Amino acid sequence: MRMMSRTIRHPPSLVRVPALLVAVVLYGASGYLFFEIPLKPDLRWQDGFWWALVTLTTVGYGDFFPATAGGRFLVALPLMTVGIGLLGYVLSTAAAALVEERSKEIAGMSSQDLENHVVIINFSSQGKVERLVDELLHPVGLGRRTQVVLVDEELPQLPPELAARNVRFVKGNPTRDATLSRACVSAASHAVVLSKRPGDAHSDEQVIAVALAIEALNKAVRTTVECVDPSAEILLRKAGCDSVVCTSRFDAHFLGSEVLHPGSQDVVDHLLSTAAGGQQLFIKSVARELTTFGAVVKQSAAEGHIAIGIRRKGKLTLNPGDATPIEQGDELVTIGATTPARS
């Protein structure tokens, strides 16, 4: 009862504005008909309401107008005065609501309602996240229409560069179900967990906790995580992650390869980048009718791809012989300009 009494005495703007609008329109229509019907007997209620709305919004078509003194000074004048104030109040309320909603969205306080989107956990650096988003949204990747949600606990607001890429932002602790639910992880198609502090092995603890929380909410999501310590890979795979990228291991590989073969990092970077254009690496399942690697090479060449190896039960074999048999479940590694026709 106290809440009802308080609502009646101080109604919210969503109730107050429509009620005031209805009251003013009803006053204008009834007052207009009361004073004008003696001079214009053919006037009807819809004419009165039309005149009241036109006057209230300061449009003034001139198809109906009061001719009597009472209609002009007791109805039209108050209606015009109130109309200007009411219109300004409605516009300011709507603008304030839009600004507040946009501010909440930029600050990461709003909840998302998406499906088949990508969730990126942790804002390690702006350049890194921008490059990752560009790779994912490339036409050769997931496509420009794919929605991306960034989740981070410390980022004050979404950078303009990411907002320009239509990235959405959720601020909060990514190890908590409430934060992941606001990012709609349960309906996401991909989740990417970045290392919070690249180079710091202690950040792997948070990555493992986030991976466990994501898998608990959505086991169908394809989870790709980044770790620093190679020993964390085993725990992350036990947590249910589909792919684990150990940055320290790849850094060593890139450095060693560049020392022995200068320029090799440019080749690898080009093959791994969808945004760079040209040729990329693809991994796909092998068609059942192909029984040897030689047959796979011919089929790939017909599709404009170069077959360079097969992956069997997680183990990669590059440049196998043409007579190498293809087993069920084998995956083919190719280089090409576009996604292979068969998958």
pLDDT tens digits, one per residue of 312-334: 887 888 888 988 888 888 888 88
Q: Is the pLDDT reported for residue 341 higher than 60?
A: no
Query: How high does pLDDT run on average in the chain?
Result: 85
Q: Is the pLDDT reported for residue 149 higher than 70?
A: yes
Q: What CATH number has the domain bearing residue 211?
A: 3.40.50.720
What is the Cα–Cα distance from 210 to 218, expressed in whole angstroms? 12
Q: Label residue 108 exposed, middle or buried (CB < 10 Å: 0-12, 13-18, 19+).
A: buried
Say whether both 208 and 290 belong to one domain.
no
* Residue 302 forms part of a structural domain: yes
* Residue 186 forms part of a structural domain: yes
Taking each helix axis as running N to C, give the angle between helix 45-56 and helix 13-36, from 0 to 180 degrees, rounded to the nearest 10. 120
* Residue 273 forms part of a structural domain: no
Say whether both 48 and 11 belong to one domain.
yes
What is the Cα–Cα distance from 41 to 30, expressed in whole angstroms? 14
Say whether both 144 and 196 belong to one domain.
yes
What is the Cα–Cα distance from 214 to 240, expressed in whole angstroms? 9
Structure tokens at 216: 């608990």
Say whether both 98 and 137 belong to one domain.
no
Answer positive or negative: Cα dihedral of 106, 108, 112, 118: positive
pTM exceeding 0.85 = no
Say whether both 232 and 212 belong to one domain.
yes
Neighbours of 313 (CB within 10 A): 8
Say whether both 145 and 91 belong to one domain.
no
Q: Is the pLDDT reported for residue 343 higher than 50?
A: no
Q: What CATH number has the domain bearing residue 331?
A: 3.30.70.1450
Q: Is the pLDDT reported for residue 64 higher than 80?
A: yes
* Residue 272 forms part of a structural domain: no
Say whether both 86 and 195 belong to one domain.
no
* Residue 255 forms part of a structural domain: no
Say whether both 89 and 126 belong to one domain.
no
What DSSP string runs through 276-313?
T-S-EEEEEEPPTT--BHHHHHHHHHHTT-EEEEEEET
Report yes or no: 144 and 136 within 8 Å, Cβ to Cβ: no
2 pLDDT tier (thresholds 50, 70, 90): low
Between CA 20 and CA 30, with CA 24 as vertex, the angle to 5 degrees is 145
Q: Is the pLDDT reported for residue 342 higher than 50?
A: no
* Residue 274 forms part of a structural domain: no
* Residue 256 forms part of a structural domain: no
Say whether both 296 and 189 belong to one domain.
no
- Last residue of one domain, picked from the residues 106, 128, 143: 106
Residue 63 or 147, more confident: 147
What is the Cα–Cα distance from 167 to 121, expressed in whole angstroms? 13
What is the Cα–Cα distance from 12 to 66, expressed in whole angstroms? 34
Residues comprising the chain, all counted: 343
Report yes or no: 227 and 156 within 8 Å, Cβ to Cβ: no
* Residue 214 forms part of a structural domain: yes
The total number of structural domains that make up the chain = 3
DSSP state of 186: G
Give residue 13's pLDDT: 64
- Last residue of one domain, picked from the residues 54, 71, 106: 106
* Cβ-Cβ contacts under 8 Å for 334 (sequence gap 6 or more): 281, 282, 283, 284, 300, 305, 306, 307, 308, 340
Say whether both 71 and 25 belong to one domain.
yes
Q: What CATH number has the domain bearing residue 63?
A: 1.10.287.70
Q: Give start and end residues of each alpha helix (H) in 64-220.
A: 69, 77-106, 126-137, 160-163, 177-182, 203-217
Residue 259 has, within 13 A of its CA and on its CB side, a CA count of 6
Q: pLDDT tens digits for 81-121?
A: 887 788 787 777 777 777 777 776 777 778 888 999 999 99
- Domain assignment of residue 228, given as a range: 118-250
Residue 229 or 61, more confident: 229
Say whether both 188 and 133 belong to one domain.
yes
**Nearest CA among 339, 228, 208 for reference residue 284:** 339
- Last residue of one domain, picked from the residues 250, 269, 299: 250
Percent of the chain with pLDDT over 90: 33
Highest mean pLDDT among 198-212, 239-253, 269-283: 198-212
Say whether both 122 and 245 belong to one domain.
yes
Give residue 277's pLDDT: 62
